[in-house]
Amino acid sequence: MPLRYGFLSTYPPTQCGLATFTAALYDELNSLAPGAASGVVRLVDAPAAAAPGTPLARSPGRPAPPGATAVVGNLVAGTPGGPREAARLLNGFDVAVLQHEYGVYGGPDGDEVLAVLDAVEVPVIVVLHTVLVTPTPHQRRVLDAIVASADAVVVMTETARVRLVEGYRVHPRRVVVIPHGAADGQRAPGRHADRPTILTWGLIGPGKGIEWGIAAMAQLAGLAPAPRYVIAGQTHPKVLAREGEAYRDRLTAQVRDLGLTDSVSFDDRYLDAVSLAGLVRQADVVLLPYDSVDQVTSGVLIEAVAASCPIVATAFPHAVELLGDGSGLVVPHRDPGAIAAAVRSITTNETVRTGLAGAAAAKAPDLLWPAVAGRYRQLAAGLVARRGSRPSSAPVSVAR
């Protein structure tokens, strides 16, 4: 019998990387097991954010009628009894798959997820999207408790695995590295416009380092033809709620002050998968100028590699790990001169451009969603076969 997966995560129409990841993994696992009735318990911040038409009425494990949503219920942060109800729903599936970021669950440092884990009885796979090097004491206790309650912990890079094993209380044999997946975005080699196109995409906010990319474009203005820089994506919803469009306004002013209005453009739409794939196919270079020195997972990076696109990225851990063998160009943080030099070498040197594209293409097959979902299916099948061997049957508590 095909396995039925119960996901706990943000989920569309929520706009965030976690929701996009879960939707893609859900769809791929369902395609690998036609007829299985998987479902999603969707994380939302407030009752008003819960999508209409997603009540708790559908029984988990029963086939959904045509056109029915994947969402079987909503866990509203801070709702009394919500974690136990979420666990009840997850217990109706063969295996629970919990996505973890500190900011998506209720309670201090998202510790509300522990109440869910206390009540889940089926095997649990926890997928960690962030592993902090210097967490606060409470953040460390929360993550220690999460991994203690999991049958398996998935991280997406070897860097994250090392950080987790060395910095937290988890047995190495329970940690599995499965890369972030990507759609098949293979593109035809060569130029796609009369000017080289540099692309940065994703939800926008401080820390994305876009100001360094804009400053680099000013140093490339003398090229003939001068490249154009496309910055695609909406402002991150949580950034928008906290400070509005202040960051985007600063970027717009920077473009104006540097005289780059003909070379730098903003596309503030939230792009669906098809539209995004079309945009990436038009890019000569994907630029990831992120400020973070801790980022161990980047879906944008994986998607760019899967699209066989030449990449310039700052030296955040995932980029160093994935591109360090020559699959892309890694530059120092906050260094417009280094970004400009890397972009120049790609856009003016056919050998460099085709070499980077070819190196990325060689890695792409292992990063596509069918391969990634197959590894999740294999992991889940092994856990279900050993059902009843939870690492800890006692409730997990965390001091605040």
Can you tell me which residue has the tokens 């959904």?
64
pTM: 0.87
CATH number at residue 96: 3.40.50.2000
| Assigned token pair, 179 | 């890369």
Helices 17-32 & 369-385 angle (0-180, nearest 10): 70
Query: Does 126 lie in the same domain as 203?
Result: no
Query: Does 230 lie in the same domain as 115?
Result: no
Query: Tell me: the pLDDT tens digits for 275-329?
Result: 888 889 889 999 999 999 989 999 999 999 999 999 999 999 999 999 999 999 9
Residue 347 belongs to domain spanning: 197-367
Query: Does 153 lie in the same domain as 247?
Result: no
Lowest mean pLDDT among 28-37, 82-91, 223-232: 28-37
Is the Cα torsion angle 358, 363, 365, 368 positive or negative in sign?
negative
Q: Residue 144 above 60 pLDDT?
A: yes
Query: Tell me: the pLDDT tens digits for 9-64?
Result: 999 999 888 999 999 999 999 887 766 789 999 999 988 666 543 433 333 344 44
End-to-end alpha carbon distance in the chain: 43
Query: Does 223 lie in the same domain as 144?
Result: no
Q: Where are the alpha helices (DSSP H) in 297-394?
A: 299-306, 317-323, 336-348, 350-367, 369-385
Q: How many CA atoms lie within 13 A of 297 on its CB side?
A: 25
Query: Does 215 lie in the same domain as 132?
Result: no
CA 315 – CA 320 distance, rounded (Å): 6
CA 149 – CA 120 distance, rounded (Å): 9
Query: Does 221 lie in the same domain as 276?
Result: yes
Which of 377, 375, 380 lies closest to 150, judged by CA?
380
Query: Does 235 lie in the same domain as 166?
Result: no
Query: Tell me: the pLDDT tens digits for 152-189?
Result: 999 999 999 999 999 999 999 999 999 999 998 655 44
CA 381 – CA 389 distance, rounded (Å): 14
Neighbours of 278 (CB within 10 A): 12
Q: Residue 390 above 90 pLDDT?
A: no
Query: Does 119 lie in the same domain as 239?
Result: no
Which strands form 197-201's sheet, in the order they lie side by side? Answer: 264-267, 228-232, 197-201, 285-288, 311-314, 329-331
The mean pLDDT of the chain is 89
Query: Does 344 lie in the same domain as 319?
Result: yes
Q: How many domains does the chain have?
A: 2
CA 129 – CA 180 distance, rounded (Å): 9
